[in-house]
Amino acid sequence: MLKYKFDVLEKLKDSGFSTYRIRKEKLIGESQMQKIRTGEIASKETLNKLCELLKCQPGDILEYVPDDTKKSPS
């Protein structure tokens, strides 16, 4: 399963993009912001915007963690 490597909203804030600024400048939609808050993976377009704002690559934001609750095929 994919998950964020760090608190995305905190990283945005550290980079000068408060949630107020993001909403005011309409950089990321509120539904996508809510997904980020709850740890859900945002849309491809939002990930593109995050990479642009944070000047990074998708792999810097996301990581794959195996889901132990599913059995692997025998």
**pTM of structure:** 0.86
Residue 41 confidence (pLDDT) above 90:
yes
* pLDDT (tens digit per residue) in 50-71: 999 999 999 999 999 998 876 6
DSSP lists the bridge partners of residue 18 as none
Q: Which amino acid is at 46?
A: T
Per-residue b or e along 6-32, where b marks 16 or more CB atoms closer than 10 Å to that residue's CB: eebbebbeeeebeeeebeeeebbbeeb
